[in-house]
Amino acid sequence: MSGVARRLRRPGTLRARLAGVLAVTVALFVLVVAGVTYLLVVHQLERGQDVALLREATRIQRLVDSNASDLASGSATCQFASEPACSRVVDPGAPVESGTSPMRVTDEARAVASGQSGAEYYTVAAPTGGVRVVALPIRESVAAPGGGAVLVGVPTSMVDRTAARVGTALLVLGLVGVVLSGGIGFAVATVGLRPVRALAASVDRVTKSRNPRDGTLHSDRDDELGRLSRSFDSMLDQLADAQTAQTQLIADASHELRSPLTSLRTNLALLNRGDAIAPERRELLRRSVRDELLSLQLLVDDLVDLARGVERETDVHDVDVAEVFRTAAVTAGRHWPSARFELDAPVPVVVEGAEERLGRLASVLLDNAGKYGGAGDVEVEVRAEQSGGARILVSDRGPGIAEADRRRVFDRFFRSGAARSHPGSGLGLAIAHQIVVAHGGAIVAEPRRGAGTRIVVSLPGTPASRRGPAT
């Protein structure tokens, strides 16, 4: 396992790790700022010292150039803080000196005195501390018959003490900043992760109660965590709806299966009586069992269709809806010979969908119209929408649907009063609604002018990215 993976697996709360990251980041920033500030302050102190030193050295240089014989030499050991702490004239031929005197001739001083360099700054060590020295060239004069250089130096002790005090202050401030950054990091992590803790608590509540609605967060935050909370609430609502639908489906299926199973059990018990039943009665019972088995098979198939839910279809391609309904109309005509199916679909109407499921939609709608439309005509119209997609109208001349029942006809197992005299489970329109919603469309039931019912279906068309070029 890599080092990164091991670090990620270390124990500790997310809040502690986030607080640590924030604290380290802020602490590094504070320390970097303190370090840069210290360097800038020291640089400015040394620059100020060099400017003052150059000013005094220039004054002495002018005195020497003007043949002044009395030069202030300050202390021989350069202990004074004010300039000039010490000064010296160096002949051009003076050799490099050793020792601890701050005004000794160095390579830099000899180079200036011999004319090889214009001006030199350097720091030398002395028994009393460091001394900052500047060497300037001078012309021949009474004080310097052969020319040479003048050396002027001041102790660096004041600059060193000031730099030390600044460094100490910045160090203290840096440590305080580190401590504060830790506290701020912990506070920020605590506040920032509050929605995450609420999310975790919500998951725990749902896990314990097994009721998705117990985990709703109701967040009003307008940020990424707020959007996450609202998405989580939406997911829980959908899960609760799915759970409710599943429970209702099981209950409805159990209720609907009870009657055919009871009838089958009764008929089979009668058939087992053997010769006690007349041959005509036995044949009637056999046909009844076959019919009940067929109805039971159709009911199970419908339940399997409903169990798929309303997830969008994934195996989709361009489908000619007009051709799908044309094929379904032929099949429905054979099943309901008393009804005449009239299809009005002059041109192909292409949508994006699952061909098998759209075929199931067509068969359900036409079967429903043939069953409840009586001996009248069933009119099927398939048109292309101007904005793309398809509009399908299936109209029958049956008894129609009461206004109070129109919103419920797409519910599972719902059967209106007029439909109870016909065979069926009440699942057909529920399956049609599910297929249409899975394709991103809409389906409604409305009264037909005169008499009967009209089912209106709207399906979206093929996306522009998949359509061919316009002709």
Secondary structure (DSSP) of 235-276: HHHHHHHHHHHHHHHHHHHHHHHHHHHHHHHHHHHHHTTGGG
Alpha-carbon distance 291 to 298, whole Å? 11
Residues sharing a CB contact under 8 Å with residue 444, sequence separation 6 or more, in sequence order: 406, 455, 456
- Residue 457 has what pLDDT? 92
CA distance 309 to 303: 10
Residues in CB range of 19: below 8 A, 6 or more apart: 182, 185, 186, 188, 189, 190
Cα torsion through 330, 333, 339, 344, rounded to 10: 0
Please enumerate in sequence order all residues whose Cβ is within 8 A of that of 455, keeping only pairs 6 or more positions apart, or say none: 365, 368, 369, 393, 394, 395, 429, 432, 443, 444, 445
Query: What local confidence, expressed as pLDDT, does residue 270 receive?
Result: 73
The pLDDT score that the predictor gives to residue 424 is 54
Widest pairwise Cα distance in the chain: 159
Q: In whole angstroms, what is the distance from residue 344 CA to residue 333 CA?
A: 15
Q: Which domains does the chain have, with CATH numbers?
A: 69-157 (no CATH), 224-307 (1.10.287), 317-466 (3.30.565.10)
User: By three-state DSSP, how is residue 454 classified?
Assistant: strand
CA distance 63 to 56: 11
Contact of 416 with 405, CB cutoff 8 Å: yes
SS3 377: strand
Give pLDDT, residue 458: 92
* CA 214-216-219 angle, 5° bins: 155
The pLDDT, as a whole number, for residue 375 is 65
Which pLDDT belongs to residue 3? 47
Provide the pLDDT for residue 197: 78
- Do 96 and 107 meet the contact criterion of CB atoms below 8 Å apart? yes
Q: What is the DSSP letter of 402?
A: -
CA dist 353 to 22, 274, 361, 439, Å?
51, 53, 12, 6
Q: What angle do CA 209, 213, 216 make, to 5 degrees?
A: 110
pLDDT digit string (tens) for the chain, length 471 residues: 444 444 444 545 777 777 778 778 878 888 888 889 999 999 999 898 888 888 888 887 787 767 655 554 555 556 555 555 688 888 888 888 887 788 888 888 888 888 888 888 888 887 778 888 888 888 766 556 667 888 888 888 888 888 999 989 988 888 888 888 778 878 877 777 777 778 878 888 888 877 777 777 777 777 777 787 788 888 888 788 777 767 766 776 666 666 667 777 777 777 777 666 777 777 777 777 777 777 677 667 767 766 665 555 567 888 999 999 999 888 888 888 888 888 998 898 999 888 888 988 898 888 888 887 766 788 899 998 887 889 999 988 877 777 777 777 877 766 655 555 455 566 778 888 888 888 889 999 888 887 788 889 999 876 544 444 443
What does the alpha-carbon distance between residue 286 and residue 272 come to, in Å, rounded to a whole number? Answer: 11
Backbone angles phi, psi at 34, to 5 degrees: -65, -45
DSSP H/E element including 389: none
Give me the residue label for tokens 């046909």. 287
What is the pLDDT at residue 323?
93
Instruction: Give pLDDT, residue 416.
Output: 58
Closest CA to 49 of 144, 156, 148, 163: 156
> Would you say 113 and 90 are in contact if contact means Cβ atoms under 8 Å apart?
yes
Residue 331, SS3? Answer: helix
3-class secondary-structure state, position 222: coil
- DSSP label at residue 285: H
